[in-house]
Amino acid sequence: MKKLLFTPGPLTTSRTVKEAMLEDVGSRDYVFVNAVKEIRSELLTLGHVSQAMGYETVLVQGSGTFGIESVISSAVGKQDVLLILANGAYGERIVKMAVIHQLQHQVLRFPESEIVTPEATINYLEAHPEITHVACIHSETTTGVFNPIGAIGAVCEQYNKVFIVDAMSSFGGVEMDIDALKIDYLVSSSNKCIEGVPGFAFVICKKAQLEKCKGQGRSLSLDLYDQWAGLEANGQFRFTPPTLSLLAFRQAMKELQAEGGVPAREKRYKTNKITLDTGMAELGFQQYLQPGIQGHIITSFLYPDSPNFNFERFYQKLNDRGLIIYPGKLGKTDAFRIGNIGQIFPDDVKRLVQAIKEVLEEEGVVMPKQEKQTV
C-alpha cells in the first residue's frame, strides 16, 4: 500500500524522485560530479545568495544532525563562546553537541510554548560580551513554532556575533533570503522541504566564516572546512558520498522549480496547514501552540480528553490506512504531531482528517463540542 507520511521527515516523495535512483553511478563519474556541482550552486540560488556575494555550500553525508554537528564542532573555536537559544528538543540537541565537543557554551532557554525573543537575546548578549556565536532553530519541530530568525539575525549583526541557524524543517518551504536574514551558517537536509530522500545535510554559509574553521574541526568526518576543501579541490566528497540520494535530490530540485519554486511550495504547505487546522478544529482537537507563533510545517495537537483515547492504537489504525502521523516530543504535555510537508496535497490532508474521524468513532472517543473554525 502507498503510504503518506504526515511527519517532519523523511517525507512522502514523488515517484520520479525515487526513479532518479534506479541507475548506479560512480562517485568519480563526471555525471555525478556535475550533479553535485549543480546541487551546490542551485542551493545558493534557493537561499537568494551567490558565490559572488561570498557564500558557499558544503554537503555533508548523513542526516540533518550530522550537518549541524559539523558546523557546531568546526565553527566554534577554542577561544569562542557559543550561545544556544533553545525552546525545544532540537535546541537541546545542539547543547548536547556543545557538551560532547567540550565547547565553551551557554544556554538561554525559553518555554516550549513560546518563541525565542530578540529582547531576551539582547539582554543576554549585553550581560555576556564573551559570546561569539549564536545558534537558533528556525522551525522548532518539537512543537512547530517558528522562531523570529530575522529579528535574531539583526541582533547578531548589531552585536557582531556569528549566527548559526538550524533551518532543517523549513528551508525550501519558507522563502528565505540568507543575506537579508544575516545568517552566517544555515543548515538543512535532503529529506525535508526540498522533498528528496535521506542521505545528506547541506550547509549554506559565508566563505569568510568557513575559512576561519580551518584546523578547528573536532572530528575527521564532520570537519566542515576539510569537507568544503575536498569538494572545491576536485568536486568530490572526501569519503563515500550518498550517490543515489544526491541524484534524487537533483530531481527533487527540478520538481521544486517546476512547481513554481519556494513561493509555490510555501503556498501549498500553507494550504495544507489551513485544511488541517479547519478539519481538526471541526473534530474538536485543540492545538498546543497559540496560532500567532505556529508555523505551517508541523502542528502539535493535544490528546483528546477521553479515557478511550490510546495513542498507540490511534497511530496503528491510521497506519493501517496508509496514513503515518508522528508522536509528540513535548516535555510535560501529551500531544501528537501532523506535518504538512512533502508530496502531500490538500486532498490528502482531507483524507487524513476523515480517517481520524473514523478511527475516533471506532475507538469510542467522544470529542468536546465541535467548533467551526473561521479561516
- Which residues of this protein are in contact with ligand PLP, per CB under 6 A? 8-9, 63-65, 90, 137, 141, 166, 168-169, 189
Q: What Cα–Cα distance (Å) separates residue 100 from each residue in 73, 78, 310? A: 9, 14, 37
Residue among 125 and 227 whose Cβ is closer to ligand PLP: 227
Residue among 90 and 228 whose Cβ is closer to ligand PLP: 90
Give the 3-state secondary structure of residue 271: helix
Q: Give dist(CA 178, CA 188) in Å, integer.
A: 13
| 85: β partners | 108
Q: In the bound complex, what is the minimum distance in angstroms from residue 297's beta carbon to ligand PLP?
A: 8
Backbone angles phi, psi at 4, to 5 degrees: -110, 130
Q: In the bound complex, what is the minimum distance in angstroms from residue 325's beta carbon to ligand PLP?
A: 16
Residue among 200 and 301 whose Cβ is closer to ligand PLP: 200
Q: In the bound complex, what is the minimum distance in angstroms from residue 173's beta carbon to ligand PLP?
A: 11
Q: Give dist(CA 229, CA 256) in Å, integer.
A: 29
Residue among 165 and 359 whose Cβ is closer to ligand PLP: 165
For residues 223 and 217, the answer to whether their CB atoms sit within 8 Å is: yes
What single DSSP character describes residue 272? H
Q: In the bound complex, what is the minimum distance in angstroms from residue 112's beta carbon to ligand PLP?
A: 13
Q: Give dist(CA 196, CA 250) in Å, integer.
A: 8
Q: Give dist(CA 230, CA 253) in Å, integer.
A: 23
Q: In the bound complex, what is the minimum distance in angstroms from residue 245's beta carbon to ligand PLP?
A: 12
| Residue nearest to ligand PLP according to CB distances in the complex | 64
Q: Give dist(CA 328, CA 144) in Å, integer.
A: 11
Q: What Cα–Cα distance (Å) separates residue 53 from each residue in 41, 207, 208, 273? A: 13, 9, 11, 35
Q: In the bound complex, what is the minimum distance in angstroms from residue 139's beta carbon to ligand PLP?
A: 6
Q: In the bound complex, what is the minimum distance in angstroms from residue 374's beta carbon to ligand PLP?
A: 30
Residue among 116 and 365 whose Cβ is closer to ligand PLP: 116
Three cell numbers at 62? Answer: 548523513
What burial class does residue 342 get, using C-beta atoms within 10 Å of its C-beta: 0-12 exposed, 13-18 middle, 19+ buried? Answer: buried
Q: In the bound complex, what is the minimum distance in angstroms from residue 166's beta carbon to ligand PLP?
A: 5
Residue among 338 and 365 whose Cβ is closer to ligand PLP: 338
Three cell numbers at 275? Answer: 485544511
Residue among 95 and 168 whose Cβ is closer to ligand PLP: 168
Residue among 9 and 279 whose Cβ is closer to ligand PLP: 9
